[in-house]
Every structure is written in C-alpha cells, then in structure tokens.
Structure 1
Amino acid sequence: MGERGDEALTPAGRLFLQKEMKQVIHCVIGLKNPIHVELVKSEVRNSTMLQHPRFTSLMVRDKRGVEHWRPTQIDIDRHVRVIDEALGEEGNERAINNYLAELSIDSDGLSMEKPLWEIHLLMAHKCIIFRIHHALGDGISLMSMFLASCRKLNDPQALPTIAAASTTSHTSNPSSSSILFNFWNLLVTLWFCFVFSLDFILKCLWICDPKSTISGGAGVELWPRKIATATFSLQDMKTVKTAVNATINDVLFAVISSGISRYLDFRAPNGLRDGVQLTGLAMVNLRKQPGLQELSNLMKSNSGARWGNKFGMILLPIYYHRSNTSDPLEYLKRAKTTIDRKKRSLEASFSYKIGDLVMSTLGPKFASLLNYRILCHTTFTISNVVGPQEEIMIGGNPITFFRANNSALPHALILNMVSYAGRADMQVQVAKDIIPDPEFLAKCFEDALLEMKEQVMAKI
C-alpha cells in the first residue's frame, strides 16, 4: 500500500510508464526577446503548474508494484536545463528540430528521482522546450495549463482566448417524418459503430497495412529521428474548407492524404498500386467540452473536462493516388466523408473504453502490448491541438511560435500539429533511415494545401 497522501496513477498514466508505450511530450515555444533564466525560474515557481499535485510529486511503486504519486519538495534548478551554445551552424528552425529529434529517442531522460518534467532553455535560439511525461496529462490538459500562465499581447491583463464549446438545440414534439429520419440515423450509426469497432479490433490483433517506403514496425521507435516543420495559414485552411462545408480537421486530413501521395510518387512511383490503403492513427479529445479548457474546470474532479489523459484513437484510412491524375479537392471530399462517419461511429469512445477495460482486468503490461501492436499494424500517427487564437506572451516576452512533438513510436512517420495566432505548425517526425528527407515531405504537405486553395479560388 502507498503512504498517506499518495495518489494512485490513472490507468492511462500507468500505460504511459510501460516500456513499450513510454512517452514524453515536448512543448516548443519560440520567443521574440532573449531568455532571462532567473525570470523563467521565478515564473515557474509562481505558476499554476506547481499548484497541481502531479507536478510536485514523485512517481513511486509500492510493494505490489503499483504506481503512486507521492508529494515532494521541488528544486527548480534540477528541472531547468540551460543550453548556452548555439546548436550547430544550421538555421534556427533546423537547429531546434535537430535538438528535438535527439530528445525524441531519449524517453529515459526524465529521471524518476524527481517529478517527471523538465524545461530546456535554448538561449542562442530564444526557444523554451517543456519536456513533460505523458503520464502527467495529455496535450489538451498541458496546453490549458500553459495558457493559464500567459497573457494576451495586446491586453497584458487578459488570459488567452480559449475555444468555447458549441451547443446544439433540438426541437421538441417531433413530427412522424422526423421520427422516421431519426430512426434511420440510429440504424446508420449502429452500423458504423459495428463496422469501425470490428475494424479497430482486427487492426489490434491481425490486420497490417501493406508495406511501403514510409512503413515502420517493431523496434523502429529506437531508430534515429529527424524532424521538419510544415507551416500552414489557417486562413488558407478556412478558404479550402468552405468548398465542401468541411472542418479544419477535414482539411488537415486531406492535406496529409494528398501530401503522402505526392511523397510516394517521388520515392516509389512504381512501388504501389493506385488506390492502395494506408492507415493513420489519430488521437481524439473525449472531454465533454471540445477544444481547450479553462484550467479551473480541468482541476475539478467532478468535471467532464477534468485533468489527465482523456483521449481515444480512431483509424483514418488514406488512399494512394498518383498526383498527376488526381483532383486536389477529391482528397477533401473523401476526408470529410471518412471523418463524418467516424464521428457517428463513436470509435474514439470505444477505443478508450476498451483500453480502460483491458487495463483494469488484464493490467498495464497487456494493454501496452495491444497498443504497441496497433501501432505496428498502422503507418503513421496524427494529433492536432488548437492553440490560442491571438498573439500572447509569457513573462512579458512575446511568443513567436508554438509547436509540439512526442517521443518516438514504432511508426516511421509522426505528425503533430498546433495552431497559434493565424497559422498552424505541423512537426513531421520521421525515422531517418526510412524517410531520409522530412523537409521534402513537409513541403509536399504545404504544396497540397496551396493546390487545394488554388482549385477553390478558381471555382469562385
């Protein structure tokens, strides 16, 4: 049994401590002005982060091997690492990405002898990297916590704007035709639930994606990494989404589908048959309120938007098509259809409940093996976190960019996107022995969006 004051880890927290699923999140913040080390330490000491017990606790195991959070005293100097020298002679962005690539295969870098987070200050590059173990929380929790320490650039007393939940009203006393329509919708939803849940189970157990020049596999998480950044204009994405009444997530998925087809055209023009399916594994926020959350809500134990890891997974199939024979907007239409069906299927909730059931009945070791297996059976990972809508600052220093990535996985391709003040940066993390040119792949994604925008503008 743990000592008095100990808090047991959540099932998801225990999962991310397993060898096969050990994950560290890297939050990357670019600053306009030089970094003042003592000011950073002061901001951390007074931040909401240190008011949360998980950031001031050690991870310990009792005699039965069960993990607990145990409160401890924080020594800020042990958590802040200052890198004074420039990281090579390459450009600022490439140098930062090279540093992140090294961190991505260093999941053992967070010592269990202190709370599981660190801050790296890249002084020459005016960049701060938060390294936070995934057992502490997911991207939504961590972004919400970080924003609680920031202020709007044009209003230094105001907190950043956080996306609000949308509400939908329903009419009462429905007509017989609407009842029939709702009954048909229920049947369609049940059908999608059955089909996609079965597909998810089969992907966990047996079915693998066909091998391609971007496929990973067991052990690839240990291979050296490279990272490049694809940058998109949110206004361009909004322009494209109006073409078929889509969402930003639909556009992102379409851009990834088109960009991967472009890349495969270049790397292996005769290696894949047209129309072959590859599968992405997407992370979906399952909180009752979508988007970012007010930190006060996340800290409430009875809140549907509470702190921790609250996300499910969905399988997103993409289809390789030769770029010179494809209509760019066809990717968007397919993406919208696929994601609309996935939303109706409750696949993300199903994956979360299945994982929770396996964790509680068979334990974290078996659950991590199942998660590892589905990673080995799919081709790439996608995540997307919506950041602040306006320019913000921390400690009086304006923030120039937000990015994120995580520890390496068996996938050779991992895509993490964060939006901030009118643009979105997607970190393209690759196993460099499989995908040696992530900069070209990032450009394939950027060109895919621009081509879709040109197609939309031509039709106006």
Structure 2
Amino acid sequence: MGNMERDEPLSPAGRLFLQPDTTQIINCLLGVEKPIDADAIKAVINDSVLLKHPRFCSLMVKDSCGREYWRRTEVDVDRHLIVFDKPLSDEYGSISDEDIVNEYAADLSVSSPLSTDKPLWEIHLLMAHRCIVFRLHHALGDGISLMSMLLSCCRRADDPMQQPTARGLGTSSTPRRRWSLWTLLKVVWYTLVYVLEFMLRALWLKDKKTVLSGGAGVELWPRKLATARFRLDDMKTVKKAIANATINDVLFGVLTCGISRYLDIRSPKDLGEGLQLTGAAMVNLRPQAGLQDISKLMDNDSGTRWGNKFGMMLLPIYYHRGDSDPLQFLKSAKSMIDKKKLSLEAPCSYKIGHFVMSVFGAKLASILNYRILCNTTFTISNIIGPHEDITVGGNPATYIRATSTSLPHAITMHMVSYGERADMQVLVAKDLIPDPQVLVKCFEDALLEMKDAAEAAAKT
C-alpha cells in the first residue's frame, strides 16, 4: 500500500511514448574542449536539480492491468553513468571524432532501449572523443523540458556561478494579436482546414513516394547521421530580406531549397514542379517560448509545467527545380508558416491526442500517431539553446546537438542553436538515403545561396 500511495500515473503523452510503435529516446550530444573528467561529471550530476526532480528519480512500473506509473526510488548514479575509456575507432574505423560520434548516435537510434529497472536516463562518456551523450526517454518530458534540465547542470563560461540563459526566455510563444473579425474568420477557417488534413493523414492521405519516403517498419532500418552547420548571422541576414520573417521561416526555406536540390541529384526526371512533401513538426504550447526556468518547470502551479506539452503541426514544402530564385523559397515558407501560426492546429492536435488517449487508450493513439508519420515524409524540430559559451564540470562545451530514436520517416532533422551557431542533426535510413553528407551539403549551400541573394537584394 505504501508504494501505491507514492505512485503517480504517467501522463497520456508519456504513455504514448512507451508504446512499441511510438517509443522515443532523445539523445543529446555535448562536445567538450578538454579531456573528460568522469569524477567531475559525476559530481555535477549529484549536485544538480536532475536528482531532485521526481521523474529522474522514479521507475516506470506497471500494475496488474498493465497501466504505467512512476514509482520513486533511490538513484545510483554509477548505474546511469556509462564510461567508454577506449576509442570507438576499432568499431567504426579510422574516421574523424565527429564522424565516430555520429555513427555511435546513429546506432543508438535503432533498437537501443533504456533499461526499466532504473530511471529512464543514462549518460555515456566517450572519453577518447570528448563527447558526453545524454540519453533521456521522451516519457520523462519533451525537448524543451529535457534541454532545460540539461543546461541546469551547466554553467556560463564567463561566470561559473551563473547558469546559462536561453533565447526566448520570458517572451511569449504566441504574440498577442488584434482580433479583428477578418482575423477571427481566418483563424476559424485555417483551423478547420488544417485539423481536417491532420485527421485525414491519420487515416489514408499520404505524400507521393520519392527517394526520401519512409514507411511502416523503416524505423527498424540501419541509420546514418550527418551534421549540417549553420551560422546564425547568415540566417539573420536572410531573415532581413523579407519583412517580419523569423529564423523558423529561414529554416524551412533552407529545407525546401536543400531538399529540392537533393531531389534534382537523386531523381531529376521523376518529379513534377510543386510536388508536396509534408513534415511533422512539434510545437511548444507553454506560455513562454524557448528554454524554461527549471524552477518554474518543477512548480506545478507555475503554468510552465514539466512534461510533454507540445502539439504537432504538418508543414508542407514544395519541390522546385534548381534554377529557382533562392529567396522565393523563403517567401513561400513564410507564407505557409504564417497561416499555420494563425491557426489553432497545434493546440487542437494536442487536445485530440489527449482525448483519444483518455477515451480509447494508448494503443489506438499510438496507431494513429504512427500512421501520421508513415503518411508524411520527414520530422523537423528546432530548439533554441543558450546565448553564451557554457561549461560542464568546468570543461568548455564546443557543441550541443540532438537526435532521437528513429521513426518511420527516412529522414529526421533536429536543430539546436548554441551561441552564434546552429547544428542540425540529419538522421536517415541509410538504405534509402545512402549519402546524408550530400543532403547536408545541399542544406548548407542553400543557406549560403539565400544569404548571397539577400545581400544582393539589399544593395539594389
């Protein structure tokens, strides 16, 4: 009886992420400048908020009816800290440290579950490659929650007494609008159209098959991982070319341009102009955008609660041939995203998912979510990281990158900014996309082309 008093039911979203078809583990890669001190990392964990948060100190257990609960337990940090003293080059060959780390993360993304006899997180120390891999089950929380927790373990490089600050902290994720009658009508119309499409995607509506298409079972296929590197200054230069554009608009312009270029290389004769490829994007539904104050996340009365608080948006991109104006990709992306932001698609998808989970159970919700992924082409997420250079255990961080367990999509993209850089991890099913480095180069070149076009336009 004592255990049952302490047990806490999983949230509907947490239960969804434990289903076989939709299980998800977030793998966050933190590169460091100096050799890793395992004792220092252990001391950081022991002193961090991480061991005070109930989700990180609880086992996932099931009752006699198969319903999942969190049960508090003592945490043995040594069981969660996995140290690789020897180089992984024996397994992956004589390639660069970055490529070895990407190969390792790609392998983790397929069939590498977390043990349920301890809380659902691990930290892998790749000593020879100066990389710390944080593995966190999505049932513990979403990307915003988990990145906020991770950064609470870090300190600012210029002031070791201070935690990092995040872009967007304290700003509203949904800016206030003047609700004219015309705006209200557009909100209603766009919401109806997009929610209807969302439901049809869960039933039968699907993208046309291309060389980028995944499908049922593809989540079990071997993966490759490559990193696209962007300078935020370049993205800001492009953003200025179009009034009221955002970094997300630029990102989707880059994706559209880069994927169009890649399709020109792989299948130039098989595609029609304007072909739609649909992406699934997760949208933070908290009152504040960006990373969160960890103390508020742990306060259930703050309104900025811990957990999985996001909705899904379906974001289409359209293929255009290689001679298209680079800035036209940005204009099209902004027009599409403005309509999506005006709608209530993300909150409605969250409510629909919660309703299905609560009324029909996790199994049906998992089936519908899986079908949406099978009927679309890619996943994209963008998390805004810290402004300043940071340290972990006194060791300066050189990059922050994130990826996740593989999905039915053949291509999954996660972008994280850090300082003035933004790295996007591009995870692909290597039997379908054997050359992710080419795809990554298409993205990087797309941003540079858009930057050159924006600078040229500014001079005229």
TM-score, with length taken from structure 2: 0.96
User: Does residue 273 of structure 1 match 2:278?
Assistant: no
> How far 1:76 moved relative to its partner?
1.3
Aligned to 2:35, the other structure's residue is in SS state coil
Deviation string, structure 1 residues 128-160 (Cα, Å, up to 9, x no partner):
000110000111001111111211111111221
Letter in structure 1 aligned against 2:241? A
Alignment of 1:158-197 (within 5 A): 158-162=162-166, 163-166=168-171, 182-197=180-195
How far apart, CA to CA, are the structure 1 residues paired with 2:169 and 2:137?
A: 27
One-letter amino acid of the counterpart of residue 15, structure 1: L
- 1:260 matched to 2:259? The reply is yes
Q: Is the 8 A contact 2:241 2:457 kept in 1?
A: no
Which letter maps to 2:132? I
**Once the 2 structures are TM-superposed, how far is the Cα of residue 63 of structure 1 from its aligned partner?**
1.1
SS of equivalent residue, structure 1 residue 197: helix
Higher mean C-alpha deviation, range 282-291 or range 401-410: 282-291
**Given that residues 157 and 390 in structure 2 are in contact (C-alpha distance below 8 angstroms), is that contact kept between their aligned partners in structure 1?**
yes
> Which amino acid is the alignment partner of residue 279 of structure 1?
T
Q: Which runs of 4+ in 1 moved over 6 A?
A: 168-171
How far off its partner does 1:169 sit? Answer: 9.3
CA drift of 1:107 comes to: 3.8
Which structure 2 residue ranges, 5 or more long, are not aligned?
none
2:145 counterpart of 1:146 = no
Q: Distance in 2 between the 1:111 and 1:158 partners?
A: 34
Q: 2:345 aligns with which of 325, 337, 347?
A: 347
Map Cα deviations across residues 271-322 of structure 1 (whole Å, 9 max, x no partner).
1111111101111111111111100110111222110001111011111111
After superposition, the CA RMSD in angstroms is 1.4
Select 1:91's aligned residue among 96, 109, 112: 96
Aligned to 1:356, which of 341, 354, 365? Answer: 354
Query: Which deviations, in whole Å up to 9, do the C-alpha atoms of 1:27-79 show, x marking residues without a partner?
Result: 10000110011111111111110100111111000111111111111111111
CA distance in 1, matches of 2:216, 2:137: 22
Residue 38 (structure 1) aligns with: 39
Q: Assess if the C-alpha contact under 8 Å between 2:111 and 2:220 holds in 1.
A: no
Q: Determine if contact 1:23/1:107 at 8 Å carries over to the other structure.
A: no
- Return closer, same or farther for 1:48/1:202 CA change in 2, 3 Å cut-off: same
Q: Give the aligned residue type for 2:25.
A: V
2:231–2:420 contact (8 Å) kept in structure 1: yes
Q: Is the Cα–Cα contact under 8 Å of residues 144 and 292 in structure 1 kept in the other structure?
A: yes
* Corresponding residue to 1:101 among 93, 97, 106: 106
Tell me if structure 1 keeps the 8 A contact 2:56–2:140.
yes
Aligned partners of 2:121 and 2:266: how far apart in 1? 39
- In the alignment, the residues of structure 2 paired with residue 215 and residue 169 of structure 1 have an alpha-carbon distance, to the nearest angstrom, of 35
**2:238 pairs with one of 237, 240, 252:** 240
1:366 maps onto 2:347 in alignment: no
- 2:7 corresponding residue in structure 1: 6
Stretches of structure 1 that go unaligned for 5 or more consecutive residues are 172-177
Deviation at 1:419, TM superposition (A): 0.2
Partner of 1:175: none
Secondary structure (helix, strand or coil) at the match of 1:372 reads: helix
1:124 maps to which of 123, 128, 132: 128
Deviation at 1:83, TM superposition (A): 1.0
User: Which residue pairs with 2:30 in the alignment?
Assistant: 29
8 Å CA contact 2:410–2:428 kept in 1: the answer is: yes
CA contact (8 A) 1:225 1:431 kept: yes
Aligned partner of 2:316 in structure 1 is 317
* Counterpart mapping for 1:224-235 below 5 A: 224-235=222-233
Once residues 163 and 105 of structure 2 are traced to their aligned partners in structure 1, the CA distance between those partners, rounded to angstroms, is 29
Are 1:358 and 1:366, in contact at CA under 8 Å, matched by a contact in 2?
A: yes
SS in 1 for 2:224: strand
Give runs of aligned pairs for residues 278-427 of structure 1, distance below 5 A.
Answer: 278-324=277-323, 326-427=324-425
CA distance in 1, matches of 2:149, 2:25: 17
Residue 51 of structure 1 aligns to which amino acid in structure 2? K
Distance, in Å, in 1 between the alignment partners of 2:422 and 2:102 is 16
Deviation at 1:356? 0.3
Checking the alignment, whether the CA contact within 8 Å between 2:29 and 2:402 is kept in structure 1 is yes
Could you tell me which amino acid in structure 1 is paired with residue 118 of structure 2?
K
Q: Secondary structure at the match of 2:5?
A: coil
Letter in 2 for 1:98: E
Show the counterpart of 2:74: 73
Name the CA distance, whole Å, in 2 between partners of 1:21 and 1:374.
Answer: 11
Deviations 1:159-179, CA, capped at 9 Å, x for gaps: 2112323369989xxxxxx8x
Q: Distance in 2 between matches of 1:34 and 1:299?
A: 33
What is the distance in 2 between the residues matched to 1:150 and 1:317?
37
Q: Say yes or no: does 1:113 pair with 2:107.
A: no
Residue deviations 1:69-109 (CA, integer Å, cap 9, x gap):
1111111111111112222210111110000010000242x
Alpha-carbon distance in structure 2 between the residues aligned to 1:211 and 1:169: 37
Q: 1:133 aligns with which of 124, 132, 137?
A: 137
Q: How many residues align?
A: 450
What's the TM-score, normalizing by structure 1?
Answer: 0.96
Aligned to 1:206: 204
Residues in 2 aligned to 1:382 and 1:268: alpha-carbon distance in whole angstroms: 23
Work out whether residues 45 and 153 of structure 2, in 8 Å CA contact, stay in contact via their aligned partners in 1: no
Looking at structure 2, the residues matched to 48 and 397 of structure 1 have their Cα atoms a distance apart, in angstroms, of: 19
SS at match of 1:25: strand
Give CA deviations for 1:327-376 in whole Å, capped at 9, x if unaligned.
00011001101111001111111110000000000000000000000000
